[in-house]
Structure 1
Amino acid sequence: MKRFITTTLFIFLLHKTGETQTLELHDILDTIQHSYPSLKMYDAEIQSLDAAAKGAKSWMAPQVSTGLWMAPYNTKLWKANGPGTTGMGQYMISAEQFFPNKKANEANEAYMNAMSSVEKENKQATLNEVFAAAKKNYYEWIIIEKKLSTLDESEKLLHFMITNAETRYKNGLGKISAYYKAKASLGNIENMRVSLENEIVQKRIALNTLMNTGKLSNFSIDTNYVIKDYSTATFDSSLFYSNRSDIKAIDKNIELTYLRQNIERANLKPEFGIRYDHMFGFGGLPMQYNLMGMVKIPMNWSTKTNKANIESLRWKSQALEEQKVSMTNEYAGMAYQLQQDIAAKKKQVQLFEKNIIPALQKNYESTQLGYEQNTEELFELYDAWDTLNNTELEYLDQLQQLLSMQVDLEKLMEIKINDDPGFND
């Protein structure tokens, strides 16, 4: 609750002050959890089902009737014809009430109380999907920010090359051939920057939509990220049974089929009722009453529907069990594939970080030194920069793929908050 209030205040201040706030991933996820419209829809549906369950033990409405009873059509006979005689016919008031089967009421109550449990799990499954979408947009935004930083650095290097080449050409000390390549690359960088800045706007809109805030609300993000270590994780059925909300929803549906069967079985039991009739006699006829006990006896021809429903629900529960097995098998296969992909992608990222980029950086620095000492040409310096720049951008693409795979694996495992051990970049 404290975190929710803090996040809400944070978003409120963002709107009121117009200042650019920096949101961390957990701030965004907290806001989504409390504000995403579809989740509120589930909350309302859960409240609706819980409210309906309060009437699970209600009785059938009593039946009341009134009217003439055994009255002759000849109204003259309603009156007494003389001393010692009475009229014919009566006016009757009747009330009838069937008592609910206790077991049927208890079975119906258990069923209705359990109905909202399915929606609760569906809500968590939706939340898992939304969190995964938010994480992907967040991490993609981080990579875009890093690409912009790379472009800023490249722009400085190109300006150095262009300025230096212009000076040398004026003094007749250098060739102009690579100069135009550098000028074109400077334009390409500006073009790429426009595209990346537009992507940031798109990511911000996507996250604002998920947080259910103003679509153009301005904020920035914390560009720190964590690479998790899931290399030793084991993806057996118990992991998905305990973590995945969609599988838990199937369990709840299976439970509902059993509870529904109990209702159908309870309906095979007799139901008892009582009937009371009170008659007002005509022409001095004394008041009379009837007091009758009633019972509904299930017979073979009247219970076919109940028995068919019990059989149908048995097959439905078996189908749901098979669906669970199928889903866990599919999830396990996907998780192991992602685990292997992540391991391979980590190696590629580490090769970029430890081998490829440092070597190209040194190559550029040595070429730049040679250029400054007039032992290297501008086109060689440009080529060294171009290779380094493209490799750094490729590295960031690889890193984005790694983070995306990590989100996909966490989505499969239904890990909602980034609180697992890992290492910071």
Structure 2
Amino acid sequence: MFAQNTLSLDSIISIIKANNPELKVYQERMKSQDALVSGASAWMAPMLGIGTFMTPYNNFSRAGNQQDGSIMLVAEQKIANKSKIRANEAYLKAQSNITAQLNAESFNDLRALARSNYYDVLTIEKSINYLSKNLLVLQNLKKLSEIRYTYNKAGLAQIYSMQAKIYEIENQITSAKANLEIGKIKLNTLMNRDKYLDFQIDTALSFKTYIIQNNLNETVNNRSSIKLVNEQINSINLENKMIATEAKPEFSVQFNHMQTYNTVNPNQFSLMGSLSIPIAPWAAKSYQSKLKANQFEVAAMQFQKENVTNNLLGLIATQQKHLMHMQMELDTYKDKILPTMQKSYEVLLLNYQENKEELTTVLTAFKELNDSELVYLMKLNEYYQTLTEYERNVEQ
């Protein structure tokens, strides 16, 4: 995959999805959280103990058959409450859902960053093509002026002025090539590969128009940022169910075996069951305060969701209007302004070749055309950057 010379935007995004280490962090974290679920049904470990039972202090100073008391072996097991196990399991399962939405949000950010850098590289390459074409025109025009100079039909100052413009465009090309390399380094970094690995992008990419989202509420509700808040709220609700199980009693069984120190007294045992009473007022305060705190937290997150939704709806609506006007402006540049300026320049150049126009007038028209072409590319990049943010806000 890395050996190919030309990379489309979709292929770069696919490589990022497969190789970017930021996404791998979330993927491994989800595996970790899923692994915890299998342990949710575990019981408490059994307790074993050993000690003495009803043994006098001076017991071991007596003869063996006169010793009292016993050595006691203790085994205790808490019996797991099934409702607690189910609540804990559901809560643990919800954690990986939160991480999955964090992963989706992170991928959405990386995808937007990849698009932004890709469009930067695309417009830079287009500007290099524009500048290279204009450089060739200037060089040919300079040669023509030098020939005309030998016949006293062109001024030396005009030739020097033209040479200065050639240097200026060469400098612009050098700067653009440096920015092109920087853009490729950024893309290589996102793809997690050799930062200086060269590649070509698909410069034949057609002009991309934005897609109007008619049902903005549905679009926003499908966003990973909104789903993340929903999963966090669900997690807190499941945590509340888990906390509520603390009000349920817990059972435990204890078995004691007493082995007497002499052979006269019989061995003894005891079997005891115990039951916790968590609804006692002094014990209930703990889980009741947790439940109340989580209820406030859920309310806060509902307002957070409302705030995020409101901001996204406003932002998307604003970006749609902005993109519509930017597209109209680009169409005007492409269909009217640039063709008209190109024709004006060509007419002036023809008049100059026929000795009907001054070179300075031709150079002024050429500079205006060159500047307008670069302004068009700048506006095109602004459009693509706005489109990138728009797509980031409407995509999952």
If the length of structure 1 is used for normalisation, what is the TM-score? 0.90
The 3 A distance-change label for structure 1 pair 131 and 231 is closer
Q: What is the aligned partner in structure 1 of residue 65 from structure 2?
A: 80
Aligned residue identity for 1:375: K
Q: Is the 8 A contact 1:137 1:206 kept in 2?
A: yes
Which of 212, 235, 249 matches 1:270? 249
3-state SS in 2 of match to 1:293: strand
Give the corresponding residue for 1:4: none
Q: CA deviation at 1:77?
A: 5.0
1:141 is aligned with what amino acid? Answer: V
Aligned-partner residue type, residue 28 of structure 1: I
Asked whether the equivalents of residues 213 and 219 of structure 2 are also in contact (C-alpha less than 8 Å), the reply is no
From 101, 108, 120, the equivalent of 1:121 is: 101
Question: Which of these residues, 39, 43, 46, is aligned with residue 30 of structure 2?
Answer: 46
SS in 1 for 2:270: strand
| 1:80 counterpart SS class | helix
Deviates more, 1:134-143 or 1:156-165: 156-165
How many pairs align?
393
Comparing 26-35 and 154-163, the one that deviates more: 154-163
Q: What is the correspondence of 1:27-46 to structure 2 with a 5 Å cutoff?
A: 27-46=11-30
Residue type at the aligned position of 2:65: A
- Counterpart amino acid of 1:301? W
Q: State the AA in 2 paired with 1:208.
A: N
Deviations 1:30-68 (A, max 9, x none): 000010011111111111111122111111111111121
Runs of 4+ in 1 over 3 A off after TM superposition: 76-81, 226-232
2:197 aligns to what SS in structure 1? Answer: coil
Give the one of 94, 101, 125 matched to 2:81. 101
The one-letter code sitting in structure 1 at the alignment partner of 2:29 is E
| Paired residue secondary structure (1:303) | helix
Give the match's secondary structure for 2:169: helix
The C-alpha deviation readout for 1:185-218, integer Å capped at 9, x for no partner, is 1000110111000001101100000000001011
SS in 2 for 1:404: helix
Contact 2:23 2:103 in 1 (8 A): yes
Aligned partners of 1:23 and 1:219 also within 8 Å: yes
- Provide the C-alpha distance between the structure 2 equivalents of 1:71 and 1:107, rounded to a whole number of angstroms: 46
- Paired residues of 1:78 and 1:89 also in contact (CA < 8 A): no
- CA distance in 1: counterparts of 2:206 and 2:368, whole angstroms: 28
Cα distance between partner residues in 2 of 1:227 and 1:339? 17
Contact 1:147 1:393 in 2 (8 A): yes
Please show how residues 163-178 of structure 1 align to structure 2 within 5 Å.
163-178=143-158
Q: Distance in 1 between matches of 2:210 and 2:170?
A: 39
Alpha-carbon distance in structure 2 between the residues aligned to 1:237 and 1:319: 21
Are positions 1:412 and 2:396 aligned together?
no
Alignment partners' CA distance in 1, 2:344 and 2:145: 20
Match of 1:397 in 2: 378
Deviation at 1:232, TM superposition (A): 3.6
Cα distance in structure 2, aligned partners of 1:148 and 1:375: 32
User: Which of 72, 91, 113 in structure 2 is aligned with 1:92?
Assistant: 72
Q: Show the counterpart of 1:317.
A: 298
CA–CA distance in 1 between the matches of 2:245 and 2:218?
34
Separation (CA, whole Å) in 2 of partners of 1:275 and 1:78: 32
Evaluate the alpha carbon distance shift between residue 78 and residue 224 of structure 1 in structure 2; reply closer, same or farther with a 3 A threshold. Answer: farther
Offset at residue 78 of structure 1 (A)? 6.7
Superposition TM-score, scaled by structure 2 size? 0.96
CA distance in 2, matches of 1:386, 1:236: 45
Q: Does 1:203 align with 2:187?
A: no
Identify the residue that residue 17 of structure 1 maps to in structure 2: none
Larger mean Cα displacement after TM superposition, 186-195 or 71-80: 71-80
What CA distance in whole angstroms lies between the structure 2 residues aligned with 1:170 and 1:367?
22
The secondary structure found in structure 2 opposite 1:267 is: helix
- Pairwise mapping of residues 5-404 of structure 1 onto structure 2 (< 5 A)? 10-11=1-2, 13=3, 21-75=5-59, 76-77=61-62, 79-81=64-66, 87-230=67-210, 232-234=212-214, 236-242=216-222, 244-284=223-263, 285-298=265-278, 299-404=280-385
* Per-residue Cα deviation, 1:259-316 (whole angstroms, up to 9, x for no partner): 1001111011111111100111122211111011110111110121100000111111
Give the match's secondary structure for 1:67: strand
Percent identity for Structure 1 against Structure 2: 31
Q: Deviations over 1:142-185 (max 9, x none)?
A: 11111111111111111122111111111112233432221111
Structure 2 gap ranges (5+):
none
Q: CA 1:78 to 1:414, structure 2 compared with 1: closer, same or farther past 3 Å?
A: farther
Q: Which runs of 5+ in 1 are unaligned?
A: 1-9, 15-20, 82-86, 416-425
Q: Confirm or deny: 8 A CA contact 2:132 2:173 kept in the other structure.
A: no
| Residue of structure 2 equivalent to 1:423 | none
Root mean square deviation, CA, Å:
1.4
User: By how many angstroms is 1:227 displaced?
Assistant: 4.0
CA distance in 2: counterparts of 1:414 and 1:282, whole angstroms:
78
Query: Distance between the aligned counterparts of 2:394 and 2:233, measured in 1?
Result: 22
| 1:78–1:190 Cα change, 3 Å | farther
Distance of aligned partners of 1:172 and 1:366 in 2 relative to their CA distance in 1, 3 Å threshold:
same
Aligned to 1:149, the other structure's residue is in SS state helix
